Structure 1
Amino acid sequence: MFAGVVKELWRYPVKGLRGESLRSAVVDFDGLAGDRLFGLNEPGGDKSVWGGSHPKLMGWEAAWPAQCGCADAVAGEPVLYEPGGAAWAAGEPGLADRLAETIDAKNGVELRKVKRDYGRILVVFEASVRRLSEQLGREIEASRFRPNVIVDTDLEPFAEYGIEPGTAIRLGDNEFTLQKPCERCVLPSWDPNGSNERDMELHKHIIKELDNHFGLYLRINDPVTIKVGDAVAA
């Protein structure tokens, strides 16, 4: 059906913040290790604070500190970096206030661990990103879609949405199952670097021309390791 290679791997330790590029990653039934394990809420309630409601949040980054010399490891709590580059430990006093101040969260924020009842990884096809850029006449960054995996294959642009759910897709020696295309929220229309600028044309184009889908969700049951450079096939 198609063949290609894994070009990039990404992990987002805190939902809504920019993530970190990886060389390799462990994936299991719960998804990619260390991905979206923390989120932000308003204090004392369940109302989520996310990139769609507070786009300046994407001016922050989050990463897991290197453990035992392996930059892709997950242990302890992530480190958060504010737009100016200052680093904050996840449990450091003053972090919540600083976050709220910089993203205009008037009701405050609280960093919490996220309870996930599903696991999946988001795969984006480089050819579709290129074609989307051509259609809109400007570069569209793949980072807008917050993928875990970016692949370059011989599949025609947007042809991935014709693949049947349940199809086996291999990343390296590992067989994943296609769950479904990713239905997009408003997040890709906001600048992925936190400038608070919105691209409404992109949002409308994805809805009208792509049935509001971009990227594929894949799942696997048993723990496996995927790497940049791994072959991709279906």
Structure 2
Amino acid sequence: MFAGEIKQLWRYPVKGLRGESLRSAAVDADGMAGDRVLGVFEPGTGKAVWGGSHPKMMGWEAAWPAQCGCADAVSGSPVLYEPGGAAWSADEAGLPARLAETIDAGKGAEIRRTAGAGDRMLVIFEASVRRLGEELGREIAAARFRPNVIVEADLEPYAETALAPGTPIRLGEHEFTLLMPCERCVLPSWDPSGSNERDMELHKHVIKELGNHFGVYVGIGESARVAVGDPVAG
């Protein structure tokens, strides 16, 4: 048993790009509204252009423009911001060429709809982030793991990945189900700012010491809303 609260919420409108911080978010059986609904692909193919092969992608940000004062709204098209700060609508004609140029995508880039986040949200625990930093002897940015929910709770570091699938986890007023631990790819080893620098020691440590798991996926079968400051219990 554990208890805590939601400290941060994050959404990534374009898979592989940096995302946006939220105060609250709508969630349903498809995951967090507006999360990873667009992706970057090689033109005319189904092959994804992703941060593991093009880490400069993380120099770009994506966010949904505020609608009617609702920071978590997802109507219209998201806005993409290139490293220099210039803003592009996701459907703007010149965006694909500019994106490809800045991320070194030699075959070009095409922004298309995806299947979304795959009916799940990624939750990480601050205690585990702190312990990882202690083990490596330096601060580790939670952003490396691209979480949707960052939780502070009275759970031992890394204990969340040992919880059984199907375990109920309450976020705010709604009961979510733990689906599985998150098996990590190479992406957390790349600097989340898009600087094109890689931390191989971090990657090796997660594989060797943590069984290549960090964070857990949760899902829910109904409509819900979560917010920063909501209580967490499991």
State the TM-score, normalizing by the size of structure 1. Answer: 0.99
Distance 2:155 2:199 in 1: 27
Listed as ranges, the matches of 1:57-96 within 5 Å are: 57-96=57-96
Give the SS at the match of 2:135.
helix
Runs of 4+ more than 6 Å apart: none
Query: Are the aligned partners of 2:37 and 2:117 in contact in 1 as well (CA < 8 Å)?
Result: no
Letter in 2 for 1:191: D
Q: Cα distance, 1:120 vs. partner? A: 0.3
Listed as ranges, the matches of 1:133-172 within 5 Å are: 133-172=133-172
Distance 1:118 1:18 in 2: 18
Listed as ranges, the matches of 1:205-224 within 5 Å are: 205-224=205-224
Q: Deviations over 1:72-120 (max 9, x none)?
A: 1110110000001000001112101100000000000000000248300
Give the SS at the match of 2:216.
strand
Instruction: Structure 2: give runs of 5+ residues left out of the alignment.
Output: none
Residues 112-121 or 202-211, more deviating: 112-121
CA RMSD, 1 decimal:
0.8
Listed as ranges, the matches of 1:6-45 within 5 Å are: 6-45=6-45
Letter in 2 for 1:52: G
Give the SS at the match of 1:182.
strand
- Give the direction of change, closer, same or farther, for the CA distance of 1:92–1:117 in structure 2 (3 Å limit): closer
Distance 1:116 1:156 in 2: 31
Letter in 1 for 2:223: P
Distance 2:190 2:143 in 1: 11
Distance 1:152 1:210 in 2: 20
Structure 2 residue 110 is matched with structure 1 residue 110 = yes
Distance 1:49 1:170 in 2: 35
Distance 2:89 2:231 in 1: 36
Distance 1:60 1:135 in 2: 30
- Give the direction of change, closer, same or farther, for the CA distance of 1:16–1:160 in structure 2 (3 Å limit): same
Q: Deviations over 1:7-44 (max 9, x none)?
A: 00000000000000000001100000000000000001
Give the SS at the match of 1:66.
coil
Q: Cα distance, 1:71 vs. partner? A: 1.3
Q: Cα distance, 1:205 vs. partner? A: 0.2
Instruction: Structure 1: give runs of 5+ residues left out of the alignment.
Output: none
Distance 1:200 1:85 in 2: 29
Letter in 1 for 2:18: R
Distance 1:94 1:16 in 2: 19
Letter in 1 for 2:35: D
Letter in 2 for 1:210: L
Distance 1:199 1:75 in 2: 37
Residues 115-124 or 131-140, more deviating: 115-124
Letter in 2 for 1:113: R
Distance 2:124 2:117 in 1: 23
Match of 1:197 in 2: 197
State the TM-score, normalizing by the size of structure 2. Answer: 0.99
